[in-house]
Amino acid sequence: MQDKRILAKVALLECDRYNLEDIEKKLREGLELLGGERFIRQLVPPGSSVFLKPNLMCSEPAGSHVITHYIIFEAVVRVLKDYTSHISFGDGHSFADSVRIAERAGLMEIAKRYGVSFDDLKDSLQVKISDALLCHGLEVARAPYEADVLISLPKLKTHALAFLTGAIKNQFGCIPGLQKSAWHARAKDPSHFNKMLLDLNTVMGTRFAILDGITAMDGNGPKNGNPFPLHALIMGACITAVDSVAARLIGYNNPLEVPVLRDAHQNCWGAVLEDEIQVLGSRIDILKAVGFKLARQENGLVNVAPSLLERFIDSSLLRCALRDTIVPNPVLIPEKCKGCRRCSDVCPQKPDVINFIKKRDSVLPHWNLNKCIRCFCCQEFCPEGAIEVRYSKLGKMINAIKRR
Ligand code: SF4
Ligand code: SF4
């Protein structure tokens, strides 16, 4: 008899290389574990339109560990072609040409070969959310919203703001263009940002996720971290469950340490806890990463979200006084900086936060932390990996106390 608490099933498949035949086989194996033909027919009813949302966050060469691998995309298309011919895909960007990004990533050539259409997610519409956690209305990209089935194809990476980016965060690309920066500015409290992400997934109706963790990213993610051979494909219809399994695989003993999963759990948005999720296929303890550098991890200290710290420090006066000391900050690695000013361009608080100051022969960014909202867009989009997210000494001490 099934455990009454099981709310979601997740297929975890071991896969150690990006080989098309191997991955297609693993995908079919995962779908079989989740319910086979009946499950797939419910997921993709005959004649339905499917939109694939890979993570193409920036211009990277095909096979880069920063973006969803093109072989995953091709394998998914090959499987879906058995059920529908109406497949499209896309990702949206605030500052870059989405077509060129998809071409360089290798997805566009595959799409053309299989008759899959592309959308740059610029065309948008305003939608209402009746059972919202935070946003009763959102502007979203039309193509994934209007598709019958939205399937997320995220990449498993560390993320300075979200701790990990996977099946939930991937749909942030469905917020059109510059609205993404606007949301960072509007949802300054990380918990508000998380609720917006959950509302976004509610309204988009994200139906299924296939998380590319064959080569994941650790360290200074989501763009400038290191490739990590995790050898895992994680699939499921419940995106919180998929991310929860991913969190446990990369080293979070408790998935509630990941802020968006904690917010999802507190609001009964989806399955998050270990005993709510049935993991099929491989076992987490067998594939669990050894030596994975979590986001914001320094000197053996692990993450505590600002909201947790704020709960820890009860006095609001003390909280105000200490806020800039206890939350992590963007920190420049001067020798890596090329002075391109991208950090300032993407900052939702511009022009107030990042100023460029001449120092000897170079002009380097300088942060006014009193006005910084810690969205870490500057760290995310620095093309040189010249920005890291670090706690101050006091912040590290408080984290250490909190973890005991
Ligand atoms: S984006 Fe990076 S390289 Fe460019 S100015 Fe900012 S810190 Fe320097
Ligand atoms: S300086 Fe960086 S972290 Fe601060 S608000 Fe701007 S983009 Fe966000």
Together in a domain, 149 and 59: yes
Q: Is residue 399 part of a domain?
A: yes
Determine the atom of ligand 2 nearest the C-alpha atom of 353. Answer: 1
Task: Give the domain extent around 185.
Answer: 8-287
Q: Is residue 365 part of a domain?
A: yes
Give the distance (Å) from ligand 1 centre to CA of residue 143. Answer: 33
Ligand 2 pocket: which of 188, 346, 349, 388 to mutate (most atoms within 8 A of CB)? 349
**Ligand 2, atom 4: closest residue by C-alpha:** 372
Q: Is residue 26 part of a domain?
A: yes
Together in a domain, 248 and 321: no
What pLDDT does residue 187 have? Answer: 85
Together in a domain, 267 and 235: yes
Number of domains forming the structure of the chain: 2
44 in Cβ contact with 50 (< 8 Å) = yes
CA distance 318 to 300: 27
CA distance 252 to 343: 30
Domain boundary residue among 287, 321, 337? Answer: 287
Task: Please name the amino acid found at residue 368.
Answer: N
Domain of 15, CATH number, reads 3.40.50.11440
Domain boundary residue among 223, 258, 287? Answer: 287
What pLDDT does residue 35 have? Answer: 98
Q: Is residue 49 part of a domain?
A: yes
Together in a domain, 139 and 269: yes
Q: Is residue 299 part of a domain?
A: no
Give the distance (Å) from ligand 2 centre to CA of residue 375. Answer: 5
402 in Cβ contact with 304 (< 8 Å) = yes
Together in a domain, 181 and 243: yes
Question: Helix or strand or coil: residue 318?
Answer: helix
Q: Is residue 296 part of a domain?
A: no
Together in a domain, 149 and 184: yes
Find the ligand nearest to 381 CA.
Answer: 1
What pLDDT does residue 141 have? Answer: 98
CA distance 332 to 379: 9
Together in a domain, 279 and 311: no
What pLDDT does residue 181 have? Answer: 85
Domain of 373, CATH number, reads 3.30.70.20
What pLDDT does residue 324 have? Answer: 60
Q: Is residue 321 part of a domain?
A: yes
Together in a domain, 233 and 87: yes
What pLDDT does residue 341 have? Answer: 94
What are the Cα distances from residue 243, in Å, to 58, 114, 147? 22, 29, 23
**Cα 346–154–260 angle (5° rounding)?**
70
- Measuring CA to CA, which residue among 154, 158, 155 is closest to residue 294? 158
What pLDDT does residue 395 have? Answer: 66
Question: Helix or strand or coil: residue 212?
Answer: strand
Give the distance (Å) from ligand 2 centre to CA of residue 349. Answer: 7
Domain boundary residue among 232, 252, 287? Answer: 287
Query: Which pLDDT tens digits describe the chain residue by residue (404 residues)?
Result: 445 577 999 999 999 999 999 999 999 999 999 999 999 999 999 999 999 999 999 999 999 999 999 999 999 999 999 999 999 999 998 878 999 999 999 999 999 999 999 999 999 999 999 889 999 999 999 999 999 999 999 999 999 889 999 999 999 999 998 888 889 888 888 899 999 999 999 999 999 999 999 999 999 999 999 999 999 999 999 999 999 999 999 999 999 999 999 999 999 999 999 999 999 999 999 999 999 999 875 433 344 444 455 455 444 555 555 666 667 889 999 999 999 999 999 999 888 899 999 887 889 999 999 899 999 999 989 999 999 988 776 666 666 655 55
Q: Is residue 293 part of a domain?
A: no
Together in a domain, 282 and 322: no
Together in a domain, 323 and 239: no
What pLDDT does residue 397 have? Answer: 67
CA distance 252 to 15: 21
CA distance 150 to 43: 10
Give the distance (Å) from ligand 2 centre to CA of residue 78. Answer: 41
**Ligand 2, atom 7: closest residue by C-alpha:** 347
What pLDDT does residue 186 have? Answer: 86
Q: How many CB atoms lie within 10 A of CB 362?
A: 13
Find the ligand nearest to 356 CA.
Answer: 1
Q: What is the DSSP letter of 274?
A: G
The ligand 2 site (C-beta within 6 Å) comprises 330, 347-349, 353-354, 367, 372-378
Give the distance (Å) from ligand 1 centre to CA of residue 340. Answer: 5
CA distance 82 to 89: 17
195 in Cβ contact with 267 (< 8 Å) = yes
The ligand 1 site (C-beta within 6 Å) comprises 332, 337-343, 365, 382, 384, 386-387
Segment holding 187, helix H or strand E? none
Give the distance (Å) from ligand 1 centre to CA of residue 328. Answer: 19
Together in a domain, 316 and 234: no
Together in a domain, 254 and 399: no
- Measuring CA to CA, which residue among 156, 214, 286, 242 is closest to residue 22? 214
Determine the atom of ligand 1 nearest the C-alpha atom of 344. Answer: 6
Q: How many CB atoms lie within 10 A of CB 403?
A: 12
